[in-house]
Amino acid sequence: QQQVKQSPQSLIVQKGGIPIINCAYENTAFDYFPWYQQFPGKGPALLIAIRPDVSEKKEGRFTISFNKSAKQFSLHIMDSQPGDSATYFCAASMAGNQFYFGTGTSLTVIP
């Protein structure tokens, strides 16, 4: 059973656009929601993370929106660049015991 559902599977945007990737979860015990960026042939890198006590977190061009009642969270990339082209994974964990990953979104930013 997929603990974290992620959509879309792939996304293509023009440079400067704002891609949005969505994730949903069921287990209300999750208390940490990170996003990872992965380039081909490399391990994922932590991008930004949020805890359920806040509804939004922004770091540079990356913003997480969190809706606790809907059990959803999303990643927004402002002013997207071709260098942002990568696969993005959302994840959820409870007390850091185990991380559950979404299925990934392949983002392509066209120059």
Partner 1 sequence: GAVVSQHPSWVICKSGTSVKIECRSLDFQATTMFWYRQFPKQSLMLMATSNEGSKATYEQGVEKDKFLINHASLTLSTLTVTSAHPEDSSFYICSAEFGGNEKLFFGSGTQLSVL
Note the residues at the interface with partner 1 (CB under 8 A).
Answer: 32, 34, 36, 41-46, 49, 87, 89, 91, 93, 95-96, 98-99, 101-104, 106
CB-nearer residue toward partner 1: 33 or 109: 33
Integer Cα distance of 2 and 54 in angstroms: 25
- Residue 52 Cβ vs partner 1, minimum distance, rounded to whole Å: 13
CB-nearer residue toward partner 1: 15 or 58: 58
In a 3-state reduction of DSSP, which class is residue 83?
helix
Instruction: Quote the tokens at residue 104.
Output: 């990934």
Integer Cα distance of 87 and 61 in angstroms: 16
